[in-house]
Structure 1
Amino acid sequence: MFVTLTANPSVDRTVEVARLTRGGLHRATGATVEPGGKGINVARALVRNGHQARAVVPAGGAEGDQLISLLEQCDIDVVRVRTEEPVRSNISVVEPDATVTKLNEIGPRLSAREIETMCDVLLANVADARWVVAAGSLPPGVDEDFYAALIGRLAPTGAQVVVDTSGPAFRTSVKAGPALVKPNLDELEEAVGRRLDTVRDIVDAAQELRSLGAGKVLASLGSKGAVLVEDAGIWCANASAEPRSSVGAGDAMLAGFLAAGGSGPQALATAVAWGAAAVSLPGSTMPGPEDVEARRVRVEPHPGWDEKVRE
């Protein structure tokens, strides 16, 4: 069983347009409404590929009702934590070249009691968990050390904890010793405080995070694939894809990595295959087995250290 916590979930609306022009009137060429949030997307991808996933979700208001309904349609084991304020809505505008413009609401302010209830509910639902994924931004009212404290509370359960977030919450969580972190390029740069241009830069930054406490680092690099740094070695992987929407692709990548065991080059290959498949689908659609093409993935056990990681 995989268990996810999405502290700041959303109802995600994705609109496709021919070209986005500021101040203009646009006719949508396509639109989707899906349950959103990093942890939720991980659970969706896992379930689509035959794995069991449980999603702990704080959700209030009519928007929360809609979110829970959408999740139940995905056959996810949903554990709802009711909140006073409603779930946020996010809008992504996607252009034909896969450029995404995002409009994300800040999210509901959670009370101290709601935050504590959310933690208690999570802890009550991880007895059968191999992995616990704590992912996404933190809503107003939640301290930046929330994920770090959660890692400590989960330690006695024996579950391996994954953190996928950004900013101060990411930096503090690393020091708490998560089994795995999955930053993208921007998040990794923010965490180490410098620009990263090459594979060597990525690996050095990942090793820095590991020296602070992270077990493994899976760095997602968009069209450049991903880099995995762990005790057993360092690998790079990439795959060709026809881009349609990058929304949720990193979450699909993380789901693939965990589904394939969460370690080593084969798990990295699966991660990149799932991520590439997600990029080719509309909105934040998570890929299923029919979408994943493992043959497109190339894994390098000896990275080209000076290879550029930017377009």
Structure 2
Amino acid sequence: MILSVTPNPSLDSTIELPAPLVPGQVHRAVTSHSGPGGKGVNVSRALAAASAETLALLPGDTGDPLLTALQSIHLPHATVPVGHPLRTNITITDPSGTTTKINEPGPAVDATATAALTSLVVEHAAKASWVALAGSLPPGAPDAFYAELTHQLRGTAFVRSPLIAVDASGVALAEAITAEPDLIKPNAEELLELHQHVHGAEATSAVSAEALEADVELVADLIHSLQPYGVRAALVTLGARGALFIPQPGDVGAAVLFAYGPPLIARSTVGAGDAALAGFLIAHQRDESPADCLRQAVAQGRAAATLPGSAMPGPTDLTLADVVVDEFNTTMKGNAS
């Protein structure tokens, strides 16, 4: 089983426009979708769509619209009370694939709520192969929450300790790597933030996230520069260009892998990175090779991007044969552009 932990879940509303968004103008939507979200919840939804066993752990009170939405899609979940309504996030997409997101901060939590969520995770982790710690932290949660939870899981006497993946950003991710999680899954923007937090803003101040997506050599260099600071393995998603897998130091014979597919026009990128992480964990749980784990990740992420709203792909939506996986070397740089 794969657990997801979402400290700051959301009810996600996605609006599709017939033309690009123009600030200050009135727009009429083509369609709209609403459903449960937050990175960890999305990971569990992707796992469930792939028929993988999962349990989503999150805060939330009985009767909250988000929990009602989880019940309506029959997603296994367990919660701790938080005493406030959960947040709503809004995503606006247009036919070109451009996505605009407006995320609410979420309800404030106190030490009692974070301790209760930690206890819930430890309670269920004994049955898990992976625990995915995902998303932003709510107001009031300590920046080191993911690091503290990782230490708590590592310090618990499980028969078989679960592996830990972190998909976060900003200070939460920077703090998380100090506990050396088994896998991190940043996108290009999150990787730049992490590198600047560790090495200083001037280190990559001239590099944009868009430029980094096109430079897989630099992506690998940035991850390697972070490994002495707690990064083990990394799955770096690069939008439409694919993804890079960097193994942890000391993995004998392990190679940096780059995966990509043919061009596609995204309908909605909401949850595509979460689907990619789910794909990687599914394949890893089946003891597949790193190359096949990466192929599954990219196939799942690509499929999610072609679906409306935050819909997650099922097996029939995947085109694994379209995904090329190569060992990375400096001559491959052109494949990413």
TM-score if structure 1 supplies the norm length?
A: 0.95
Give the match for residue 232 of structure 2. 215
Displacement of 1:66 after TM fit? 1.7
Structure 1 match to 2:276:
253
- Is 1:93 matched with 2:97? no
Cα distance, 1:18 vs. partner? Answer: 1.5
Query: Aligned partners of 1:309 and 1:92: how far apart in 2?
Result: 30
Gap regions ≥5 residues in structure 1: none
Match of 1:181 among 175, 180, 184: 184
**Residue 10 (structure 2) pairs with residue 10 (structure 1):** yes
Q: Determine if the alignment matches structure 1 residue 40 to structure 2 residue 31.
A: no
Q: Which structure has more strand as a fraction of its residues?
A: 1
Map 1:154-233; keep pairs closer than 5 Å. 154-155=153-154, 156=156, 157=158, 158-193=161-196, 194=204, 195=207, 196=212, 198-230=215-247, 231=251, 232-233=254-255
Shift in Å at residue 30 of structure 1?
0.8
Partner secondary structure for residue 256 of structure 2: strand
Superposed CA deviations along residues 216-258 of structure 1, whole A, max 9, x for unmatched, are: 1000000110000003111000123331010100000000000
User: Under a length normalisation based on structure 2, what TM-score does the superposition of the two structures give?
Assistant: 0.88
| CA displacement at 1:302 relative to structure 2 | 3.2
Task: State the distance in 2 between where 1:159 and 1:61 align.
Answer: 29
Over aligned residue pairs, what C-alpha RMSD do you find? 1.6
Deviation at 1:293, TM superposition (A): 0.7
Q: d(CA) in 1 for partners of 2:86 and 2:194?
A: 28
SS at match of 2:117: helix
What letter is aligned with 2:219? Answer: I
* Residues 295/206 of structure 1: CA separation in 2 closer, same or farther (3 Å cut): same
| Distance verdict in 2 for CA 1:304–1:30, change over 3 Å | farther
Q: Is the 8 A contact 1:48 1:286 kept in 2?
A: yes
Per-residue deviation, residues 49-80 of structure 1 (Å, max 9, x unmatched): 11110011101475xx2211222233322101
8 Å Cα contact 1:4-1:54 kept in structure 2: yes
Q: Larger helix proportion, structure 1 or 2?
A: 2
Q: Does the Cα contact within 8 Å between 2:255 and 2:328 map onto a contact in 1? A: no
Matched ranges for 1:97-136 at <5 A: 97-136=96-135
What is residue 258 of structure 2 aligned with on the other side? 236
**Aligned mates of 2:84, 2:151 — CA distance in 1:** 28
Matched, 1:293 2:319: yes
Equivalent position amino acid for 2:13 in 1:
R
SS of equivalent to 1:33: strand
CA distance in 1, matches of 2:68, 2:177: 34
The answer as to whether partners of 2:97 and 2:265 remain within 8 angstroms in 1 is no
Q: Which amino acid aligns with 1:180?
A: L
More moved, 70-79 vs 240-249: 70-79
What SS class does the counterpart of residue 125 from structure 1 fall into? helix
Cα pair 2:96 2:265 within 8 Å, conserved: no
Report the Cα distance in structure 1 between the residues aligned to 2:89 and 2:62, rounded to whole angstroms. 16
Q: 1:269 aligns with which of 285, 292, 295?
A: 295
Q: Counterpart of 2:273 in structure 1: which amino acid?
A: G
Deviates more, 1:35-44 or 1:16-25: 16-25
Shifted more, 192-201 versus 260-269: the winner is 192-201
Q: How far, CA to CA, are the matches of 1:210 and 1:218 in structure 2?
A: 13
CA-to-aligned-CA distance 1:104-133 (integer Å, 9 cap, x gap): 101000011111111111111111100000
Q: Distance between the aligned counterparts of 1:236 and 1:74, measured in 2?
A: 34
Identical residues among aligned pairs (%): 38
Amino acid at match of 1:182: K
What is the aligned partner in structure 2 of residue 282 from structure 1?
Answer: 308
* Cα distance between partner residues in 1 of 2:61 and 2:8: 11
Give the corresponding residue for 2:201: none
Structure 1 CA distance for aligned equivalents of residues 324 and 330 of structure 2 = 13
Distance 1:93 1:302 in 2: 35
Whole-angstrom distance in 2 between the partners of 1:305 and 1:10: 42
After superposition, residues 48-87 of structure 1 pair within 5 angstroms as 48-60=49-61, 65-87=64-86
Conserved in 1, the CA contact under 8 Å of 2:216 and 2:336? no
Given that 1:221 and 1:309 are in contact with CA atoms closer than 8 Å, whether structure 2 keeps it comes out as no
Residue type of the alignment partner of 1:229: I
